[in-house]
Structure 1
C-alpha cells in the first residue's frame, strides 16, 4: 500500500501471529472500540486490545499509527492522519499505538523507527510509510489502501456519530471520473478496464500521481493474478537469465511481502546482463520502487545498489 506509499498488495512485512490470540479485554484506560458500542474513527490500541482491531479490519481497513510522546515527527503526522481519516467518513479507522507503553505491538510491527504507519486489511498487515509525510501523500496512500481493501472484500464503513452528539457528517470524497471508473473496475476484478482508466487519466494529466500509483498497483495485480508461485520459481531457477521468468517471481515476491527478495532478484539479474539488455530490468525496478514508496528504507538500499551498478 506506502509504507512509503503502499505497495498495494497484502504484504507480510510484519509478523502479528503472536498478538492474534492475546486477551481481548482492553487494559485500564484504553479506548479501543467496545463491542456493541459506538465506534470512534480514532482510538487507542494496546497490546491487550489489539485482537479487537484485527477483527475490525475484516469489516473496515484499520490504519495503525505507531508513535511515542518523545517523537517530534509523530506529533506532526498524527493530526494529519486524524484529519484525513475523519474526512473519509468511516471508510477507514485510525488505531493509535504508543510504542513505549505497548512493546509487544512495537515488536510485532518491527517498528525500528517512528512514526510508522501500517494498515490492517482482513486481518493482514499492509505497510504504508515511515516518517512524517505531506498531507497529499497521506491522501494518495489512503486512496490506494481503499482500493486494496476492496480487492479483499473489505468495503464496510463505520458510523461517524449519532444525532445530538455534535459530530458532523463528513462529506464523502468524490473521486475524479476516471479514478472512479478504475476503482469500480478493481472492485469487480476487471484489471484491464482499471488499467485503461488510469492510463487515460495520465494522458489527461501526466502529473496525476494518484493515477500513476494506481496504475502501477493494478498492473502488478494483473500480472500476479492466477500465477503459481512454485511453477514460477521453478521456471526462474531453470533459466536464470530469462528476464520474464525473473520478473514473474519478483512480482510474486513483492505481492507476498518479500520486498528485499524481489529487489535483490532483479538487481542480481541487472548485474549480469549485457548493458544493452538491462533497460527492461531497470524499468521494472523503478516501477516496483514506486509501489513500495521512496520513503521505505528497502527502496533506498535498492536504489543505492542500482546506482552503483549503473556507474
Structure 2
C-alpha cells in the first residue's frame, strides 16, 4: 500500500469521474433489483457498474475495499475469502465491494485492472491503491490497519451498524468440508503452504478423482512457488537465461498469480518450442497444470492448447 501524506487522500491513480454521476432512473421506472441497491449498505456486497455511484457515496462515511476479481482467476478464489473474513471481523469499520471484472467492464477500465485480483480502497470518494495478487491473511490485516489510519486522517471514521450474526449471513451456509480439505484450507489461512499441499496430495492419494483437491493443489502449489519471489529480479534472471527452465517458470508463475495469463502461456510455449525434444517434458507438465488452474473452458487456455498441439506435432 502506498503511504500517503497525513491528511491527504491518494488521487489520480484511477479515473472514476465517468462513474460518479450516472443518470438516475426516471420517475415511475421499475424499481431496482431488490438484491442490489436496496441492500446497500452491507458489510460485503456485489457491486455493478450501475451501483457504483452509491458505493462512492458510502465511502464518504466508511472506507470501502474494492475487490476486482473474475470467475476464471484462481488467485482471486484464494484471496476473496480472506478479504471477506477480515472485513467481517472488523465489525463495520470497513465495507467490501466485490466487482466481477468480466461482468462490469466500465469498472475494470476505470480501475485499470490489467491484472487481478486487484484490491483498491475508496476513502471519501477517492481511490487508495492497496495491492495486486493473492497475499496472505496477515498481510491483508496489516494493509487494512494502514487503510483505517489513512481514513481517519481524512475524517472518514464511520462504522456501519452490524446486527449480531450479520457477518455470518453474508454468505450462504455451505456443507462441511472433508477433513483433508478443511486441513488444507486452515493451512492456507495460516500461510503454511507446504502443509496445505500435503493435505491435498493425501486427498488425491485416497481419491484420485477428487477434482476439488486437484484444483486446490494447483492453486496452493502456485502460491507456494511465488511466495518470496521478487518480480523484477525474476524477470531479470529470465531475460539473462532464456533457456533456463526454472527462471522461466518463476516469471510464468508470477504472471499467472497476477492475472497475466496470456503472458505466462506465451512465455512457456516459446520456451517449449526452443528446447530440445528430450528437455520439453517439464514445460509441458507445467503448462498442463496452469491450464487446469485457469480452467479448460477459458479462451486463453483453448488458444494455448492449440499452439501446444502444433508444437508437438
Please tell me the TM-score bracket, short chain as reference: 0.5 to 0.7
Structure 1 position 122, deviation (Å): 3.8
Aligned partner of 1:18 in structure 2 is 15
Q: Which residue of 2 aligns with 1:265?
A: 267
Specify the SS of the correspondent of 2:196.
helix
TM-score for both structures, normalised by structure 1: 0.59
Mapped to 1, the partners of 2:237 and 2:135 lie a distance apart of 29
1:189 is aligned, of 185, 188, 191, to 191
* Distance in 1 separating the partners of 2:102 and 2:244: 47
Residue 200 (structure 2) pairs with residue 198 (structure 1): yes
Give 3-state SS (helix, strand or coil) of 1:283's partner. Answer: helix
Show the counterpart of 1:32: 37
Cα distance in 2 for residues equivalent to 1:293 and 1:280: 20
User: Quick check: 253-262 or 180-189, which moved more?
Assistant: 253-262
Is 1:293–2:292 an aligned residue pair? Answer: no
May I ask how many residue pairs the two structures share in their alignment? 236
Question: Alpha carbon RMSD of aligned pairs, Å?
Answer: 4.6
**Residues 179 and 21 of structure 1: is their aligned pair in 2 closer, same or farther, counting only changes over 3 Å?**
farther
Looking at structure 2, the residues matched to 160 and 44 of structure 1 have their Cα atoms a distance apart, in angstroms, of 27
TM-score scaled by structure 2?
Answer: 0.59
Secondary structure at 1:294 match in 2: coil
The farther-off stretch of 234-243 and 264-273 is 234-243
Unaligned runs of at least 5 residues, structure 2: 1-12, 26-30, 72-83, 89-95, 122-133, 142-161
- 1:106-156 per-residue CA deviation (whole Å, 9 max, x = no partner) reads 75599xxxxxxx9977449xxxxxxxxxxxxxxxxxxxxxx98858648xx
Are the aligned partners of 2:117 and 2:258 in contact in 1 as well (CA < 8 Å)?
no
State whether structure 2 residue 53 is matched by structure 1 residue 48. yes
- 1:172 deviates by 4.2
Higher RCO, Cα 8 Å, sep 6+: 1
Relative to structure 1, is the Cα distance of residues 236 and 218 closer, same or farther in structure 2, using a 3 angstrom cutoff?
same
Counterpart position of 2:148: none
> Mapping of 1:1-311 within 5 angstroms?
17-19=14-16, 22-23=19-20, 27-28=24-25, 31-32=36-37, 37=41, 46=50, 47-49=52-54, 51=56, 57=65, 104-105=106-107, 122-123=119-120, 153=140, 170-311=172-313
Q: Which runs of 5+ in 1 are unaligned?
A: 1-15, 66-87, 111-117, 125-146
Give the CA deviation at 1:292. Answer: 1.2
Segment of structure 1 superposing worse, 280-289 or 236-245: 236-245
Deviation at 1:231?
Answer: 1.4
Equivalent in the alignment of 1:83: none
C-alpha separation between the residues in 2 aligned to 1:267 and 1:237? 16
Separation in structure 1 between the aligned mates of residue 102 and residue 243 of structure 2, nearest angstrom = 47
Q: Is the contact made by 1:33 and 1:52 (CA closer than 8 Å) also made in structure 2?
A: no
Q: 1:261 and 1:170, CA in 2 relative to 1: closer, same or farther beyond 3 A?
A: closer
Instruction: For 2:100 and 2:279, locate their aligned partners in 1 and report how far apart those are by CA, in whole Å.
Output: 47
Structure with max Cα Rg: 2
> CA 1:18/1:185 → structure 2, altered by over 3 Å: closer, same or farther?
same
Relative to 1, partners in 2 of residues 1:244 and 1:40: Cα closer, same or farther, differing over 3 Å? closer
